[in-house]
Amino acid sequence: MLQALSIRDFVIVESLELEFSAGYTALTGETGAGKSILIDALSLSLGARNEGDVTRKGHDKAEISTTFGISHNQAAQDWLQAQEIELDDTLVLRRVIYADGRSRAFINGVSATVGQLRDIGETLIDIYSQNAHHSLLKVATQREILDAYAQATPLAKEVSQLFKAWSQLHQQQLTYEENASQFADELAELRDSTRELKQLAFAVEEWQTLQQEHVRLSNGASLLSGMESCLQWMSEDGEVNALELLAQVQAKLSELQAMDAGLQPIAEILDSSVIQLEEASRELNRHLQKSELDPEKLAEIEARIQDIHGAARKYRVKPEELPELLGQQLIRMQELEGFADDGALAKQVQSAWQAYQQAAGQLSTQRQQAAKKLAQTITEEMQTLSLKGGKFAISLMPGEAAAYGMEQVEFLVAGHAGVEPRPLNKVASGGELSRISLALQVTTASLGSVPCMIFDEVDVGIGGGVAEVVGRLLNQLGQQRQVLVITHLAQVAAQAQQHLQVSKSEHNGATLSHIRGLAADERVEEIARMIGGLQLTEATRNHAREMLKLATH
């Protein structure tokens, strides 16, 4: 569950430290006080894209830190283990956003990517925005809701993958059938070129060795002459050579040490130099004895280099790219041979189609079973949401095979008794749509595994007794999960176990937003404000006390 939120220099928040309780929490405040800032900050800490200037004016960065208890969240624990991030009962996500738009992310103090924040965030919180009921008009959203209720979302993803696999193979089959003659010619050319490249038997590692050996052999005479000169200068010249000169220096230093003991370290360094020079002289002599002019070997290497250059020019690549070209040609040849193999590709297409049909059939069965239960549940909820006699239904119309399955999913609704259900996007008014949307969200959310749900003004368009019913629904949901609701409705806020209030003030010419938890008497004042506006009376306070009392019982 969400335990704490810390915000620094974010939009109009200077400093904020919030602690959250389990169950149902309401967040209220006047319009413009900054309620949406909480959602924005939470979203950014969970990896949302930063699309605006969120750093408080005059500051170089904003910081957001969220703390979660994950002792019972197996999905979050598994993700942390997979990422090799230290695992504890507490998880801390931190996001730092700089004024120039850059940002940094941390998970339990370890530097992370925004994508990683987003991945772990999916196991922690579901956020339902105030525009969720508008997305409900989309057929894709309706299908996703039904699949979530049927607990078939993983199967739906598998169906989509299987359809894509079949579609790719089917397209390959069509392409081959249309270009069979062209592919046959290409295959013949590939067989010739791959045979030639295999016979060349060229590896990238050989190219550098060939070039080095060619340089050595083509300059053999100069090498021999140069090595002989070096050997003479080092040790073999009868009159003057390096070893002889060093021996003279050694003798002189030996005499001078009797007068200056400080020369001993220098003499020791010189002794080491003499030993190294003698070793170098012996190694150079051995290398010289092994070196010889080899015109035949040089001719072989030049012929090999010429063959490689010839193949590179023929296939228009660099010599070192020839092995990679061979690999690419072998892959393409294998693909074309699969096409040419009579019936092989057709069998792959058929196998992929059968796999898709089997999975899609299972998905259809689960959708049919879940559609009846979900329709019945939402119809019952509608009766309590001032839609008495209304009916909710789900149409599953068989259609052409697609990535989403073999049927079209569409939500139907009848607002009154005796009316035939029609598509939701054609008959539902704004108020009806928001109520049905909320009923669907509460119903499907209770089946999920994400421990915390946030509803951002999803009760728009609701009032009166319906608002009280909505509050009860959210309260019931809060008994199973952690629920945070941003609301303008007193009836909804009164049902909460924890109440947070957002307010704003001016300080040194700057507007600042504040959020704090309310005590019992403060809740009365806030509920009264929500009922009666700025001019509070004892009547509105009594009404507020009565609402809170009824909600408690």
| pLDDT, one tens digit for every residue, the chain (553 residues) | 999 999 999 988 888 898 999 999 999 988 776 778 888 899 999 998 887 788 988 889 999 999 999 998 988 999 999 998 988 899 999 999 998 888 999 999 999 999 999 999 989 998 877 666 667 788 888 998 899 899 999 999 999 999 999 999 998 888 777 777 777 788 888 998 999 999 988 888 888 888 777 777 766 656 666 766 787 777 766 566 888 788 888 888 887 887 888 888 888 888 888 888 888 888 888 877 666 656 777 788 888 888 888 899 998 999 889 999 999 999 888 877 766 655 777 888 999 999 999 999 999 999 999 999 999 999 988 888 878 888 999 999 999 999 999 999 999 988 788 888 888 878 766 667 777 877 787 777 667 678 898 888 767 767 778 888 888 888 888 888 899 999 989 999 999 999 999 888 887 777 788 888 999 999 999 999 988 866 788 889 999 999 998 887 6
The pTM of the whole model exceeds 0.75: no
Domain at 1-124+450-518: CATH code? 3.40.50.300
Number of residues that this document lists for the chain = 553
> What is the C-alpha radius of gyration for the chain, rounded to an integer number of angstroms?
40
Query: Counting runs of H as helices and runs of E as strands, what totals does the chain give?
Result: 20, 15
Q: What are the domain boundaries of the chain?
A: 1-124+450-518, 520-553
Can you tell me the distance from the alpha carbon of 26 to that of 492, in angstroms, rounded to the nearest whole number? Answer: 8
* Among the listed residues 442, 420, 415, 447, the one whose alpha carbon sits nearest the alpha carbon of residue 431: 415
pLDDT of residue 68: 95
The residue whose two tokens read 């050579």 is 241
User: Which tokens go with 308?
Assistant: 């490689």
Residue type, 489: L
Three-state DSSP class for residue 456: strand
Q: Is 450 exposed, middle or buried (0-12, 13-18, 19+ CB in 10 A)?
A: middle
pLDDT of residue 397: 94
Residue 173's φ and ψ, nearest 5 degrees, are -65, -45
pLDDT of residue 130: 62
pLDDT of residue 439: 79
Distance of CA 110 to the CA centre of its chain: 16
CB 224 within 8 A of CB 352: no
Can you tell me the distance from the alpha carbon of 64 to that of 2, in angstroms, rounded to the nearest whole number? Answer: 14
**What does the DSSP 8-state code read for residue 86?**
P
pLDDT of residue 450: 82
pLDDT of residue 203: 87
